[in-house]
Amino acid sequence: MPQTANVDIPKRHLVLDIEGVSTAPIVPRNTYEIADKKIFVFDDVFDEQFVDNFGIFLLRRDYQFRPSINNELSSGVSAELLESLPALPHAMNGILEHYYPQMTGSPAPQAISHGYAAALRFGDSGSVHQDTLCDDCVTFLYYGNLSWNGEWGGETVFYDDEMSAAACVTPRPGRIVLFNSVLHHRAGTPIRECPTFRYAISIFYRCERMMGNGAPPSEADGQA
C-alpha cells in the first residue's frame, strides 16, 4: 500500500505522494457514525486533471440495463481494470490503510473485488440495500460528474437499523466516500430539471474471508 509522505505534519493526517492526488493532508470533510459503523466523506483528494479525465472515463462507459432489482443503467468494472487506473486505486488503498482501523473492531486485510459504474436519471428508482452482510468489508463511492448543482438532488442516503434516514451525502465532482459495506443505503435520483445523468462508481473491497468464499457480486451492487 502507498506510504505517507515524509513531511512534518501531525500523525493523524494522511498525505499521499501520488501523481494525480492532492499534496494537502487528506482529512474527511464529514464523518458520520451509524451504530458502530462509519461513513467518511472526502473532498479535493484528486487534482482537477484527474477529476476531468476520470469523469470522461465514466461518461464513456458502455452502460446497459442490468437485470436487477432496479434495472438501472450500469457498467461492470473488473478488479484488474480498477487496479490499472492511475491515482484512484493507490489513493483508495492509502485512505483505507489510514482510516479502516476506525471502522471495525477486527480489521481484516482488504482487496478490490469489483466495481459498478451507474448512470441514474430522473424517473429511476434506487432501492435500499446492503453491499454485503460482512461487518469487515468496505465500499468506496466516487461521484463522477464533471459538474453538479446540489439542487439537482441525487444524494446517497444511509439508514440506521430501524430504517430511518441517518446520513445523507450530496454528489460533488471528485468526492469520494468510504463506508462499511453492511450499512443500508440508497442512491438518490436527480430531479426532473437536472440536465444530465448522475454518474458514480461503487468500488467494493472484500476481506480475505469473503474473497475466499468466492461470494458472487450482489444483485444490489452498483447503486450508491
Domains of the chain plus CATH, in order, are: 30-213 (2.60.120.620)
- Average pLDDT by stretches of 10, the chain with 224 residues: 37 84 94 97 97 97 80 91 96 96 88 96 90 95 98 97 97 98 96 97 93 58 60
Identify whether the C-beta of residue 52 lies closer than 8 Å to the C-beta of residue 146. Answer: yes
Question: Which three cell numbers, joined as nine digits, stand for 129?
Answer: 440495500
pLDDT of residue 215: 55
pTM metric for this prediction:
0.89
The reported pLDDT for the residue numbered 9 is: 37
pLDDT, position 52 = 97
DSSP 8-state class, residue 37: E
**Residue 221, class by beta-carbon neighbours within 10 Å (0-12 exposed, 13-18 middle, 19+ buried)?**
buried
Between the alpha carbon of residue 207 and those of residues 108, 115, 151, 156, 204, the distances in Å are 6, 15, 37, 24, 10
